[in-house]
């Protein structure tokens, strides 16, 4: 049973920064921030979950079965992540590429301490509270007055896992697969990395969030492993019997010139290649949702709508379904994961080809971070536009990708990757 206190905030943004700094004393931290984006499907403006009371850490073997057991038996708030490589538990697939990060393939925890932000109020929920613990913690947080965050001052030298000429060769190989009819579309990704490098995770996340302001910003700390994410994409959300998925496919750069910026957004909305990429993934998501949907309930709520973020314009579609009472929350994740926007179509063939051509195990990149509520609702994002960091190994990684279709030009795909990588590189090198 949780003890709940509602706390009014005079300066919510200051309190949020103080709270994130205060949270670093714990080994298990998940911070989710909407950055004030107006999303009709959002339940909270921001959430912090810290300090594991119970947890589940596992590899791919029966991962969703073990998560289902953990979530249903806990009957409480549960936060965590799914790595892309859980594809190996839903299909007969493998992941043998290089992994410099060593994140567990699935990790969820039941937080002792939970902070739920809405407007100018934070709802604080504590499990197994001791005396005046909430009151004392709130005082401690508010005493983090203008906390000084040590900047990451070490020089970071970014390396490419796949160099430009090799990238072109791999894209051409994928195009040959498309021409043979093996696939229609696949999301091909490449890693940028730094070895023997040290960063301050809070400082790096703060900078990345400031220049991106995405609707699904995520800071995750699991002992010595960190995710610093400026992702704009929702994977899937369940609220009651309603399920929503919002894949992103289609990217255009921003311009500081207002007239040119409008033209870039309009150009993206009319670009037939980008629209075809998006529509193919919409069809894939519709098919995935149909596995758990009530008959005739899968609908496309919004098709190929362009949204503008600080770094890029993106084409987003929204697909919904209704489920019956006998559908378990994990069943929805199991039948839709990995998300279509990060795989391709047909999904299994695309994942096999991706594995052969990519050089790095994706891990948490292309995976998802999110939470379950006590009644079995959930909300999960897509981990893109993110920096991953293993503090012990001093290994920093960020990956970017693009959808390869029959109309793809290898040079333009490479340039799209550089646009997506811009924010991460800027944060790490400056």
pLDDT in tens, 311-329: 999 999 999 999 988 999 9
Output the pLDDT for position 159. Answer: 97
Output the pLDDT for position 144. Answer: 82
Output the pLDDT for position 143. Answer: 86
Task: Answer yes or no: are the C-beta atoms of 208 and 423 closer than 8 Å.
Answer: yes
Output the pLDDT for position 178. Answer: 97
* Whether 249 is catalytic: yes
Chain centroid offset of residue 244 CA: 15
* Whether 361 is catalytic: no
Total number of domains constituting the chain = 1
| Catalytic residue, candidates 185, 191, 233, 416 | 233
pLDDT in tens, 250-283: 999 999 999 999 999 999 999 999 999 999 999 9
**CATH code for the domain of 10:** 3.60.120.10
Domain that holds residue 243: 2-429
- Is pLDDT of 367 > 80? yes
Output the pLDDT for position 128. Answer: 85
One DSSP character per residue, 259-302 reads: HHHHHHHHHHHH-HHHHHHHHHHHHHHHHHHHTTBPTT--EEEE
Output the pLDDT for position 155. Answer: 77
| Catalytic residue, candidates 249, 352, 361, 420 | 249
Output the pLDDT for position 147. Answer: 60
Q: What is the mean pLDDT of residues 11-32?
A: 96
Residues 6+ apart with CB under 8 A from 296: none
- Is pLDDT of 113 > 90? yes
pLDDT-based confidence at residue 223 (cuts at 50, 70, 90): very high
Task: Give the chain's mean pLDDT.
Answer: 95
Closest CA to 187 of 343, 414, 338, 410: 343
Identify the weakest region by mean pLDDT among 60-64, 329-333, 426-430: 426-430
- Is pLDDT of 160 > 90? yes
Looking at the DSSP bridge assignments, the partners of residue 114 are: 49, 125
Q: What is the mean pLDDT of residues 142-164?
A: 80
- Is pLDDT of 213 > 70? yes
pLDDT-based confidence at residue 333 (cuts at 50, 70, 90): very high
- Is pLDDT of 388 > 70? yes
């Amino acid at each position: 049973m949780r003890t709940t206190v509602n706390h009014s905030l005079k300066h919510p943004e200051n309190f949020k920064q103080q709270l994130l700094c205060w949270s670093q004393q714990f080994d298990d931290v998940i911070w989710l921030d909407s950055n004030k984006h107006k999303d009709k499907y959002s339940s909270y403006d921001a959430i912090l979950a810290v300090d594991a009371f119970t947890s589940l850490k596992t590899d791919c073997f029966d991962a969703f079965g073990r998560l289902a057991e953990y979530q249903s038996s806990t009957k409480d708030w549960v936060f965590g992540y799914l790595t892309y490589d859980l594809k190996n538990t839903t299909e007969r697939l493998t992941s043998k590429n290089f992994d410099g990060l060593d994140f567990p393939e699935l990790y969820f925890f039941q937080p002792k301490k939970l902070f739920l932000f809405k407007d100018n109020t934070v709802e604080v929920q504590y499990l197994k509270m001791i005396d005046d613990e909430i009151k004392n913690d709130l005082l401690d947080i508010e005493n983090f007055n203008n906390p000084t965050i040590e900047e990451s001052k070490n020089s970071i030298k970014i390396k490419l896992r796949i160099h430009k000429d090799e990238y072109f060769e791999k894209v051409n190989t994928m195009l040959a697969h498309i021409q043979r009819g093996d696939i229609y579309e696949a999301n091909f990704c490449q890693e940028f990395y730094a070895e023997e490098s040290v960063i301050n995770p809070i400082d790096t996340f703060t900078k990345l969030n400031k220049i991106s302001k995405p609707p699904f910003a995520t800071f995750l700390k699991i002992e010595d492993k960190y995710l610093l994410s400026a992702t704009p994409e929702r994977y899937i959300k369940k609220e009651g019997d309603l399920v929503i998925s919002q894949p992103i496919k289609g990217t255009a750069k921003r311009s500081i010139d207002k007239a040119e910026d409008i033209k870039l957004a309009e150009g993206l909305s009319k670009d037939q290649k980008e629209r075809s990429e998006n529509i193919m993934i919409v069809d894939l998501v519709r098919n995935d949702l149909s596995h758990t949907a009530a008959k005739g309930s899968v609908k496309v709520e919004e098709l190929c709508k362009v949204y503008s973020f600080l770094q890029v314009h993106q084409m987003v579609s929204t697909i919904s379904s209704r489920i019956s009472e006998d559908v378990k929350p994990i069943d929805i994740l199991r039948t839709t994961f990995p998300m279509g926007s990060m795989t391709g179509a047909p999904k299994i063939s695309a994942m096999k080809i991706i594995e052969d051509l990519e050089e790095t195990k994706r891990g948490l990149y292309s995976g998802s971070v999110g939470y379950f509520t006590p009644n079995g609702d959930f909300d999960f994002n897509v981990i893109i536009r993110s920096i991953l960091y293993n503090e012990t190994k001093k290994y920093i990684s960020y990956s970017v990708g693009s959808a390869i279709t029959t109309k793809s030009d290898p040079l333009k795909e490479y340039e799209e990757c550089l646009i997506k990588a811009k924010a991460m590189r800027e944060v790490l090198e400056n």
